[in-house]
Amino acid sequence: MAGSPSISSLFAQRVIIGVGDMAVSNNVHVVLSTYALGSCVGVIAYDPLSKVGGILHLMLPDSNISPEKAALQPAMFADTGLPRFFSSLFGLKGERRRLRAFVAGGASVIAGQDPFRIGERNSRVTMDYLQQQGCQVRFTDIGGAINRTVHLEMATGTVTLKRPSDTQQLSLAE
């Protein structure tokens, strides 16, 4: 019947990743989403063979400012969240050599001068870590002064990137 929903869309489930949190999945009926990446950085990773992927929404570059908070919420910080994120992907049979990543956020959203440069520091620490790990970064959309929202479709590896001015779809499966 034309216009009828597909079986997979009937069972699709959206998982929302909040600030300082992460989620990984190998369920093809899941869409992972995180909203309002300003100075925060979103790391989206996907293994197209095993269909394992995830999103990390990190908030700060270094956990040394609050070791207690890092112990309770490691995804909040780049230095504790990135290792935990990739370990979780590997735990679901994602393989380092097949993982493809997209990095978004790291904006300067504070009006005027930002003496702390959190977005810039988040981006730099994240990109350095990914390079050291040999992770294939396929796309980036970092910097500037805008917020971004991202969605990862686990079935296809399609990332939908929403900016205030436009929406773009990128494939981490190709």
Q: What is the pTM of this model?
A: 0.92
How far apart (Å, rounded) are the C-alpha atoms in residues 149 and 145?
14
Split at pLDDT 50, 70, 90, the class of 7 is low
Does residue 59 sit in helix, strand or coil?
A: coil
What secondary structure letter does DSSP report for 11? S
The domain limits of the chain are 11-171
Contact between 98 and 48 under an 8 Å Cβ cutoff? The reply is yes
Spatial strand order in the sheet of 158-162: 13-17, 30-37, 148-153, 158-162, 167-171
User: What confidence tens digit (pLDDT) does each residue in 148-173 have?
Assistant: 999 999 999 999 999 999 999 999 99
Poorest-pLDDT segment among 9-13, 67-71, 83-87, 95-99? 9-13
Q: What's the whole-number average pLDDT of the chain?
A: 93
User: What confidence tens digit (pLDDT) does each residue in 23-80 have?
Assistant: 999 999 999 999 999 999 999 999 999 999 999 999 999 999 999 999 999 999 999 9
DSSP string computed for 140-157: EEE-TT--EEEEEETTTT
The four Cα atoms 164, 16, 46, 128 give a dihedral, to 10 degrees, of: 70
For domain 11-171, the CATH architecture is 2-Layer Sandwich (3.30)
Name residues whose C-beta falls within 8 Å of residue 152's C-beta, 6 or more positions apart in sequence. Answer: 31, 32, 33, 44, 46, 53, 54, 55, 158, 159, 172
Q: Measure CA of the first residue to CA of the last residue in the chain; give whole Å.
A: 31
Backbone angles phi, psi at 26, to 5 degrees: -130, 20
Quote the percentage of the chain above a pLDDT of 70: 91
